[in-house]
Each structure stands twice: as C-alpha cells, then as structure tokens.
A and B are shown apart, each in its own frame.
Chain A
Amino acid sequence: MNKKSLLYIFLMVAALILSSCGPAATSTPAATQPSAATQPPAATEAPVVPKVLKIANTATFTTWDPVKSFSTEAAYMGNMYEQLLRINPPGSAEKFTPLLAERWESNADGTVWTFYLRPNVKFHDGEPLTAEAVKMSIEAAQDHGGASFIWWMVDSIEVVDDLTVKFNLSTSAPIDLIASSLYGAWIVSPKALEAAAADPNYFEAGLEAGTGPYMLESYKADQEIVFTRFDDYWGGWQSGQFDKVLVVIVGEAVTQQQMLEGGEVDLVTRMPVENYATFKDNPDYNYYEEPTFFNYVGFFNTLRPPLDNPAVRQALSYAIPYQDIITVGVNGLGTQSRGPVPQGVWPWSDQVNQYTYDLEMARTLLAAAGYPDGGFSLKLTYASENDVEAAFAPLIKDSFAQIGVDVTIEPMLWSQQWALSKSDPANAQDMFLLLYWPTYSDAGSDNLWSMFYYTKKPFFNLSYWNDPTFNALVDEAIAKTVTDPATSQAKYIEAMNLLVDQAPGLFFMDVTYTYVIPKYIEGFEYNLNYPFTQYFFYQLSTTR
C-alpha cells in the first residue's frame, strides 16, 4: 500500500482510540499518598522518641471492610476495632473482658440480651459510641457480613437509650459469646457505615473507623502497614506501651526468622516449623507452645460406594498414621484430635473416642465389609496453598496402599477444591482435607453443626452425611447451651461419639502454635480464642 493510505489508516485508528476516551469514569485513588480518613480528634503531643513495635506478618488484607471481614486481616482488625466484649483465654478467672460494653445480662431463657455500653468512648473519626452505632454495626453484619450467619437468631435490635442495646432473639443463644467473635462483631462508626452503604468499596482504599487503641497511619498494599496510637482511647495509656506499630508483610517463613534473629523485627508470626526448637533454650527469648483451635479434618464422600459403608470408613480410620502426620506435618506441634472439636473449646471432652493406627484392624474390618484386599481407589484433594496438608497427604496415600487402597492425590487451589466439592457431590472428591477453625468459641454450633449437620446445600458438610440421630442431638444441644449447659454438654458428647463411630470424617490433629517473644517485650498473653490476632498491640510494652 502506498504511503498516503498508510498515513490515513494510522490517523483513523488513532482517532478511533482517542474518541473512545472520555473523562475517566472512575478516578483512580492517589497511588502513593497514604489515605487515612480518620484523624485523631485532638492534636497529639508527639512523643520524644516514638516507641515502635515491629512485626513481620504473613497476613494481608483481603478486605478493609470490618463488616465483610472474614479472613486473615483479623490480625489487624482486632487492634483497630473492638467488639462489645472479648472472651478470655480458657482457665481465666473471668470468662469475658468487657470492652465496649461494661456489663450485660440476659433473661432466664436466653432470648433477650441487654448490653450496657461504656460511656465517653469515641471512634477514631470523632463520632461517639452510642447504642445506635452498635445497632447499625450488627445489622450491617447480619445483612452482608462475611460472618453474617452468626447472628441468624437475632430478630431485632432495640436502642433502649443512648448507652443501652437490647437483642431480641428468635431462640435461645449465647449472645455474649457471639458478640465476642473475631468476625462480624466489630463496632463501626455510623458515619463510616453510611458511607459504605453508599459506596461498597468505601473502605478498600485503606480506611478504618473503629474505637480500638491503634489507628491506621499508612498502608502500602502487600508491603507494610503502620499503626499509630489513638490518644483518646478509653483505656488510657501507660509508659512502655508502643506509640507506633510497623507491620511488614513477609510471606516467607525463613525470611521472618532471619528478620527476628537479625533484630529487624521484634515479633514474627510464622517461622519454619523445624526451626522453632532452636529458640527453646535461647536466653534472649521466651518460648511458648500453646494449643489453638485450628484442627485438621478429613471428609469421606459418604455418597459414593464403598465409602457409603460405615464399616469401610471405620477401617480406613484405623489406617491413618496419626502420629506420623503430626511429626511430619507440624513437626510434632499437635495432638491427635478427639472428634472435630478442638481441645480447649466448648464442647470438647476427653470422653470422646479416637482411633489408633492399627493396620491389622483395618484389614480385618475391610475384609468383613467385603473388601478383603482393599481393591478400590480414592481421589483425595487438598489446598495447594497449605504446606502442612501437602506434607501429610502422601503419608495417607502410602498407608492406605498397604491395605490395598489406592489413593490419588490432587492438590488444587483452595477455591477450586471448595468449588469442586459443592458442584456435584456424588462425583466430587472421595476425600477432602481441611484446615478448620470456628468463627467464635463455640465449636458445637460451629464445627459440629457446620461440618456434619445435614443441610440441603452443604455448607461445610463435605462428607454430605445425613444422620437424623446426630442432627437431633446437635439441635437439642444448641438449644440448651444457655439454659442448661450440663445437658447440652452431655448431648454433645453423645453426638461426637456417634460421629467418631460412624466416621463420615477423619479427625487428624489439633494444632499447637509456638510463640517466640524476645525478653524485652512484656505483656504478651496468648488467647486461643483469637487465632488470627496473634498480637494485641495494646497489651505489649517494651523494657528497652
């Protein structure tokens, strides 16, 4: 083609492109300016030398919206926001610590709960804490929260007066426990809630509007977050506490370890499991091994033969090398589970049975069920992001191979594993490995209900199991939690033993966490109930 037509074509194309550009529909937020919508209400007197706490964390923000929050950002939400109350570590003198609520009470059958709020509390944006704010926050959670289901029994929330809130329930439930949840229970400034109602992405630029002791100062996605103290925090401040907290996002466990040893950070959240032992006898650090309420469970697909036969499932339960899984998966930092409820959480009980690793027993049971040398194959899926599961899945495969059962291991992204299990239960995986934790500290209405109670569309019931006896026991236990805890516990124990006996799932281990705290950091108190908030900054102080 000749030069003129070439030029002509070029100009046409250019004109076409330029004409489709109008004024930008959405303006991208200023990229490098940290945006903090919240300013401290009063001018702060800058401390002479700011005390900075430096933490390396793997946790990033999947969302900044406290209502929608349902993931790892809880590590930071727990420091910027507060609930009405907080549940204390098991074995504490008091069950709860009052936070935004000073005291609370319920009626006799636990269907009406009244909370009396602390006076003179301010949000970071200057708004006062009122009953209206609480009502708006909880209603928002009910409506579109990540953990909205925890409030399913709340019929209405009443504002009795400025500092009094009443919850009216359709059925008896422990609202004090629910309100202490790590998800869906944060109290948010009404101004922010209104803004979020108008613009669902309001918080995502990196905004917060809580009452907690620390405010957001700056945020670089996937890199670092800086928190600064909220001078008007109702709890007040003492010397030694930190003025600022710097969180560095470091995905690599070994890098975190290097940073701790090199003094670049004060606290870490994850180190290679094998290397924790090197800190045990180190005089510069305090070493803690603590139970958590994370556990690893497995689901058998009870819709697919031969897994529809309880005897087969029991046989397979005897073929799991429980101790090896703990050794290899978490370097010994775990205990074999008793059912799906982790130790330390209601309604755990040592009266719940557990299987042992007994291949002979497995073979006998299999033979009795009609599979003398195994002879069938199973597809096992696990989340490829989880390196503990990646480590112990081969152990299951090898062990089952010894009784003639062939296992194909299929790692996939968690979201894919999840989607597969929901798509077509009859043809989904045969075995599903899962890391679980209850949303709040009630593993009866969470773990037992979520994982094995029958619902038409499975929530976490990825064994697709439907046992009316179990369902009835759990229903009764949940109903009596507040009014008759003793009976509730008894029913739960019955349900759990039924579960273990029928074996729709495998109960591998409860995870133990290790904490390595340098000796100059004081005030650390481990709270099993808030696994994703490893550190409450407010509790910590430095002797340096």
Chain B
Amino acid sequence: MLSKLEFVLRRLLSSIFVLIGVSIITFFLSRVVPTNAAALYIGPKARPEDIERVSKQLGLDQSLPVQYAIYMRDLLHGDLGTSIGTKRPVLTEIIDRAPASLELLFTGMFLAALIGVPLGVLSARWQGKPLDVAARTISIFGVSMPAFYLGLLLQILFFRNLHWLPLAGRVSTDLRFTNPIEPITNFLILDALLTRNWVALKDAVIHIVLPALTLAAYPIGLIARMTRAAMLEVLEQDYIRTARAYGIKDVIITYLYALKNAISPTLTVIGLTVAFALTGTFFVEIIFNWPGLGLFTVRSLLNVDYPAIMGMTLFGATAYVIINLIVDLLQAWIDPRISLK
C-alpha cells in the first residue's frame, strides 16, 4: 500500500512542477508577442495617446519578471486575467464556455468508445474476414482524415444534400422562445432530460450528431485499431486456448476473458485520444459554430488576445496533465504489474 501511495505522491508532485513549468512557458510565449496589445484593446481607430494610456493600465510597461510575478500571484487567487477581446475575466469565459465543449467532448468520446471498441473486438474475433477488412478501413480512414475537412463533407452531405441534419449551432434559434431549456447544468442534453423537455432534447441531439461524429472520427480509428491489436494478442494466450479446448462458448471467451485483459492498453489509448479531442474541438467548433472553448481559443489566437491565450493554454495543459495522471493511476490500480518506478 505504501508503495502505491509513494507512486501517487510522486506523480502528483511531478505534475505540480510540470504545471509550474507550463505556466512559465505560456507566460513567456505570450510576452514574446510582437503586437501592440493596447491597440487591440481599444479598437480600430485608436489614437497614440490612448494606446499609451491603456498600455499603462494593462501593466505592459513593467519588466518581465515583475509581470510574471504579478501573473502568478493573480493565478493563485483564481484570476486568469481579463480577455482583451471581451473585456471579461478569462476565468468567466472558461466557465461559461466549458459546458458546451465538455458536452461535445463527452458525446464524441462516448460515440468513439461505443463504435470503436466493438469494432476492434469484432475485428479481432473475425480476423482476416471481410468484417475485419471493413473495420480496418474505417479505422485508418478515421485516423487519416483532417477534422476540418470531414466536418465540411458531413455538412455538405447531411445538410445541403440530404436535409437530414442542421448545419451548425447547439440548438435552433427558435427553441429559446418555443421550448426554452432551463439551464441547470448548461449541458443542454442533460438539462432537457432532467426537465422532460422532449422537443428541446430532440433538437439538441440532432444538433450534436455531426460535430460529435466529426470529433469522434480520429478516436474511433485509434481505439478500434488498438483494441483489435490488444485483443489479437490476448486471444493467442494459453488460457484462451485452454478455455476453447474445454468448449466454453466462443462468445463468452471473446468478450469476458479477452476483453478484460485488453482493457489496460485500451485505457492508455483512450487517454491518448483525449489529447487529440482537446485540440480537435478547435476545428469542430469552428466549422459548426459551436460556442465552446475551442472557438474562443481560436479567436483569441487569431486576435493575439494574450490573456485569453495564456488562460486557455494553461487550462488545456492542466487538463491534459490531469487526464494523463488519472490514466496512469488507473493503470496502476488495474494492473499491479505496471511499473511503479
């Protein structure tokens, strides 16, 4: 037990140091910015005197280490600075937009696991057969397709040609007047469910289909391939052959024994795909006008809104670190053979 605790503490400590380093790098990046943040703050017709005034106001005339110290102090109080574009605290922007992105992420990852894992399992089970070939084709297509391109193609197919699904947004504009969703969690699908708002539920669901699919394409590919590889390896093991020899039904063998042992690498892969999904949301949200963190980050990057960029980069890296931490800990918990060194 103590060794497990040591492992956990070690990882936590190293994560904290990593995050500090991340904050330094992010801060450094944002101050290298070769633009006049004050001019950006005011607007297109700023005059030189106004630019000077606002520069002082934003604290841009201090030395770099001082600026960093101020930034870290504010950070530890939960103040991520104020976005130049929207003039609101960055933390507020993140809290406001997080539910939209998280809903998209969860749905996408859910779809990815829902489609990817069975695809991999079946692929391994019927290795070499047409199903396997088809599954592998889908997988490799998913991994090779640029997300921004896939989104456009899906829009053309399902909106323009087939008229089955809406073009963009989380809900139709009419909905807020006809069947407004009560914002309990700001996860629209969840809220609609909780308040039994079926019209809104349907609307929210059909709006999330295309973006979630676009986001899920790469993870589906990755998960299917990895699950297949892991399953194949496990299916060769002695105890599986033994179970077969005893005549235990094929189905049970496949799903119970093999899958249970293939979970560990699958978990790793799921952790990996979250990294992709984090950055994948940038493209998906742009294409589908999805009001989440990705859209906000891209706009901030293009406008060089450095407090927002710093906030989002820090947030993204922190989320990534935490997720990796969780995956590592889960691995250690599931399989004590995994290294604790």
Residues of A participating in the B interface, judged by any CB pair closer than 8 Å: 3, 6-7, 9-10, 13, 17, 20-22, 24-26, 28-29, 31-32, 50, 52, 54, 60-64, 70-71, 146-147, 149, 201, 204-205, 220-224, 226, 244, 246, 248, 250-252, 255, 258-259, 262, 264-265, 385, 413-416, 418-419, 422, 439, 457, 459-460
Contact = CB atoms under 8 A, between A and B. Distances in A.
A264 B89 CA distance: 32
Contacts of A147: 45
B289 interface: yes
Contacts of B174: 54, 264
A419 B304 CA distance: 14
Contact of A204 (B10, B79, B87, B183): B87
A28 B78 CA distance: 9
Interface in B289-326: 289, 291, 295-296, 299, 302-304
Given A28-B92, A146-B43, A248-B169, 17 more contacts: A6-B10, A7-B9, A10-B9, A20-B77, A26-B89, A31-B92, A31-B95, A32-B186, A70-B42, A201-B87, A223-B291, A246-B173, A248-B173, A259-B167, A413-B302, A413-B303, A416-B35
Given A31-B96, A222-B295, A419-B39, A20 B73 contact: yes
B307 to A, nearest CB: 14
Interface residues of B, number: 55
B96 A62 contact: no
A61 B9 CA distance: 46
Contact of B77 (A22, A221, A248, A422): A22
B48 interface: yes
Given A62-B85, A221-B96, A222-B295, A10 B12 contact: yes
A54 B92 contact: no
B13 A13 contact: yes
B44 interface: yes
Contact of A414 (B44, B77, B299): B44
A413 B35 contact: yes
B289 A222 contact: no
A129 to B, nearest CB: 27
Nearest to B167: A258
B13 A24 contact: no
B163 to A, nearest CB: 9
27 contacts: A6-B6, A10-B12, A21-B76, A26-B79, A26-B89, A29-B89, A62-B85, A70-B42, A70-B44, A71-B44, A149-B47, A220-B291, A222-B295, A224-B176, A226-B176, A246-B177, A250-B168, A250-B289, A252-B289, A264-B172, A413-B35, A413-B40, A415-B37, A416-B35, A422-B48, A459-B47, A460-B45
A3 B6 CA distance: 6
Contacts of A146: 42-43, 45
A32 B183 contact: yes
A10 B304 contact: no
B301 to A, nearest CB: 11
Contacts of A439: 45
